[in-house]
Amino acid sequence: MYSEKVMDHFNNPRNVGVLKDANGIGQVGNPVCGDIMKMYLRIEDGVITGVSFKTFGCGAAIATSSMATELVRGKTVEEALQLSNKAVAEALDGLPPVKMHCSVLAEEGIKAAIADYYKRQGK
């Protein structure tokens, strides 16, 4: 069901854990659905210098959140805001149709973290 890349990110997730000096944190999903993603960003001079995640969810949920953190690492905030769920899914060589919603959640998680960063900056 899952591509090799999805299984790789599931078994070896990138950037797992709490980012201690994060200045933008976003959480999406909810326990009722069984999918929760928490994204941590450290943004300095408009660039994402640090990123991590913690996810409660299925194989696709872990893989998409892991891939999303890889896709925004080192990018500017403007570039990160362009992140699409389609790009996440493609980077993973595709997802089963029933699991596409996980990529949407990953995109929303990153954007929620960016929104939180702006909120903290008073913007």
Partner 1 sequence: MKIDLLSLSCHKFRGPKGTGVLYVRKGLRLPSNMLGGGQERGSRSGAENVAGIVGFGAALEEASANIPENARRVTAMRDRLITGLLKIPCSRLTGDPLNRLPGIASFVFECVEGESLVLMLDQNGICGSSGSACSSGSLDPSHVLMAIGLPHEVAHGSLRLSLGEDNTESADHNASSGHVPPMGGPRF
Candidate residues 3, 8, 16, 79; the one interacting with partner 1 per rule CB under 8 A:
16
| Residue 18 near partner 1 by CB under 8 A | no
| Residue 55 near partner 1 by CB under 8 A | yes
| Residue 46 near partner 1 by CB under 8 A | no
Phi-psi region of 33 (alpha: psi -120 to 50; beta: other; left: phi over 0): alpha
**Smallest gap, in angstroms, from Cβ of residue 7 to partner 1?**
8
| Residue 48 near partner 1 by CB under 8 A | no
What stretches of the chain show up as alpha helix (H) in DSSP? Answer: 4-11, 59-72, 77-81, 85-91, 100-120
Candidate residues 3, 5, 8, 10; the one interacting with partner 1 per rule CB under 8 A:
10
Residue 59: CA atoms inside 13 Å, Cβ hemisphere, count?
14
